Amino acid sequence: MHTHTHTHRMALLQRFEEFVFDERLGAGTYGVVFRAHSERTPEAPPVAVKCVSRDRLNKKAEENVMMECQLLQGLRHPNIVQMLRYAADPNFLYIVMEFCSEGDLSQILKQKHRLAEGEARFFLGQLASALEYLHDRQIAHLDLKPSNLLIYLRGTRQFLKLADFGFACRIGEDSFHESLRGSPLYLAPEMLCDKKYDARADLWSVGVILHEVLFGRAPFHSETYLELIKKITSKSSIKLPPQPSVSSDCRDLVLKLLQRNPDKRITFSDFFKHPFVDLDHVPSHLSLAKGRESARHGHEFERSNMLKRALDCYCDAAPHLIAAACFETDVQQEQKLFKEAEEAITKAEELKAKLRRSLGANQTFLASAPPEMGSDLVVSLVHSPELTHDLRQAFRTAFESLHKGFRYDEQHEYELAGAQYELGIERLLECVKGNYGPPPNRPLQEQLYSVIERYLARLEEIKTQARDTGRSRIAARECCIS
């Protein structure tokens, strides 16, 4: 009778407040999910309405559902499904969520079997972004699996949103829980063996998901539950399939995530910084501003002949602009951004070639550093009691400037190097001329003139290079105008 009443009530469900149910998306033990539209604002995007039957819940279970709603209410992140509203009547709990039109990651895997490494990385970055947001708020999801990673379209691309926070709770890396929760295939070993775990269990689940996405099956695929538990809790080391071949960064991350001992598993901090995750270049509304700002800095450094800094900026701009293109919904704007990314890449390649040529021209100079502060020459000038205090300080300042210039030169920051060389040379000449007191003896003066000549020659090379760069820019502008 109880089951019949439940089924009858479910069959009668047609709407919740302003939301009219259009299609049944799925059903579980406690309720059903509908796609719905707003009767009040028909132009609004569709939503998903989860209807949970209260007569199927005991008091504890109902409290858990309400706690999930309260937790979701405070979460706002582009890669986390947003809860729009929740309410209750005598028969049901209603949870109104964002609707993701493309199903979930498990459905994609059923169609494709596995994903290419680039596509897997694209989704992983979004999942990592959501987990970083949760980690900052000391929230563990504890039920990470492909079916809880919903897919939606943005423009022509599929993006990911993390869903189903039914097992989520507020725990950190240093606080533990003991109640078993989550899906067995994705459970961390410590949840099964020790029944004591913390937020690091989520990192294990990410490793299982990544393995499944890359290789077409979870690392502990089993026919029975007992066989699964035996494999997960085994002491043997985890080996990745030889095929398909994946990059070294990808392999490194999977193995660090799938460490059975949570103390040996990669930390959240290192996970978010891992080069395969590349969290800084996950597509978002910030990608365009970051990319164009880096490209602008690159142009400014290049105009100032600070080539190494310009190269770094262009290398940073390109992936941000690619991410911005992926995030763009307008096709023409997307193509424009891809073109900007290609231009940044071309600029970077040109600067690399230019720096190699420049390095070849001055490698003889860079093979010999300026006199170290502890060398006989500098000690005799900076600490000699025969020289005035002002002269000793002037020598110290001069050599410090030469050292700064040399370090800039090593980093291809030629404008900054030239400026420091000029300061050092000018100060040494003033010292030799006696501007700060009687100059040092003749042998020391000869050594100083040798240092001055060497740095004057290098300074002239830098100025010549800057003039050539300026002429090239003028020629390029004239060519564009004509």
Instruction: Identify the pLDDT of residue 230.
Output: 82
Indicate the range of 147-156, 203-212, 280-289, 444-453 predicted with least confidence.
444-453
- Name the residue range of residue 412's domain: 376-481
Q: Is residue 367 part of a domain?
A: no
Which residue type, as a one-letter code, is found at position 64? N
Selection from 414, 409, 407, 425 nearest residue 468 by Cα: 414
In a domain? residue 391: yes
Catalytic-labelled residue, pool 55, 136, 143, 270: 143
Q: Phi and psi dihedrals of 312, rounded to 5?
A: -60, -40
369 domain-assigned: no
Residue 102 burial (CB < 10 Å; 0-12/13-18/19+)? Answer: middle
Q: What is the mean pLDDT of the segment spanning 211-236?
A: 84
The residue type at 14 = Q
Q: Does one domain contain both 154 and 228?
A: yes
pTM metric for this prediction: 0.71
Residue where a domain terminates, one of 98, 129, 164? 98
Residues 247 and 335 in one domain: no
Per-residue pLDDT band at 358 (split at 50, 70, 90): low
- Looking at the structure, do residues 214 and 356 belong to the same domain, yes or no? no
- Domain boundary among the residues 52, 82, 98 is at 98
Query: Would the pLDDT of 21 be above 80?
Result: yes
What backbone torsions phi and psi does residue 182 show, to the nearest 5 degrees? 105, 180
What's the number of domains the chain is made of? Answer: 4
Cis previous bond, 146, omega within 30: no
Element spanning 408, H or E: helix 389-410
- Same-domain pairing of 214 and 116: yes
CATH number at residue 465: 1.20.58.80
Contacts of 350 (CB under 8 A, 6+ apart): none
Out of 254, 281, 308, a domain closes at 281
Span 32-54, average pLDDT:
92
Over residues 238-250, mean pLDDT: 90
Q: The domain that contains 207 carries what CATH number?
A: 1.10.510.10
Q: Which two tokens stand for residue 445?
A: 């003066």
Pairing of strands 47-53, 31-38: antiparallel
Helix (H, G, I), strand (E, B) or coil at 141: coil
Contacts of 230-233 with C-beta under 8 Å, sequence gap 24+, read 232/187, 232/189, 232/192, 232/260, 233/189, 233/192, 233/193, 233/260
Q: Are 272 and 125 in contact (CB under 8 A)?
A: no
Nearest to 217 by CA among 230, 203, 228: 228
Kind plus residue range of the DSSP H or E element containing 177? none
How confident is the model over 417-453, as pLDDT tens digits? 889 999 999 999 998 888 888 888 888 888 888 888 8
Same domain, residue pair 11 and 122: no
* Residues 190 and 338 occupy one common structural domain: no
Q: Are residues 68 and 137 in the same domain?
A: no
- pLDDT for the residue 478: 41
Pair type for strands 169-170 and 31-38: unpaired
Binding site as annotated, residues for ATP: 50
In-domain check, residue 366: no
Q: Is residue 333 part of a domain?
A: yes
Q: Given this model, what pLDDT does residue 10 score?
A: 58
* Claim to verify: residue 110 and residue 257 sit in the same structural domain: yes
pLDDT of 153 higher than 90: yes
In this structure, of 141-145, 226-230, 324-328, the range with the lowest mean pLDDT score is 226-230
Residue 266 and residue 139 share a domain: yes
- Taking residues 199-220, what's their average pLDDT? 94
> Which of 19-33, 43-57, 283-297, 441-455: highest mean pLDDT?
283-297
Residue with more model confidence, 181 or 73: 73
Summary mean pLDDT of the chain: 85
d(CA 85, CA 62): 17
Task: Give residue-wise pLDDT tens across range 86-106.
Answer: 998 888 999 999 999 999 999
Q: Is the pLDDT of residue 133 over 90?
A: yes
Task: Return the amino acid letter for 428.
Answer: L
Report the chain's terminal Cα–Cα distance, integer Å. Answer: 87
Integer Cα distance of 20 and 76 in angstroms: 25
**Inside any domain, residue 461:** yes
Residue 179 near residue 167, CB atoms below 8 Å = no
- 143 catalytically annotated: yes
pLDDT of residue 387: 86
* Range 184-211 average pLDDT: 87
Q: Within this chain, do residues 409 and 474 fall inside the same structural domain, yes or no?
A: yes
Q: Are 348 and 315 in contact (CB under 8 A)?
A: yes
- Has residue 473 been placed in a domain? yes
Domain shared by 21 and 52, yes or no: yes
Is the confidence at residue 363, as pLDDT, over 80? Answer: no
My answer on whether 277 and 244 are in the same domain is yes
Instruction: Check residue 437 and give left, alpha or beta (phi > 0: left; psi -120 to 50: alpha).
Output: left
Q: Which residue has the tokens 């392999």?
A: 251
Alpha helices in 44-116 (DSSP H): 59-73, 105-112
Residues comprising the binding site? Answer: 50
Flag whether pLDDT at 194 surpasses 70. no
Is position 371 within any domain? no
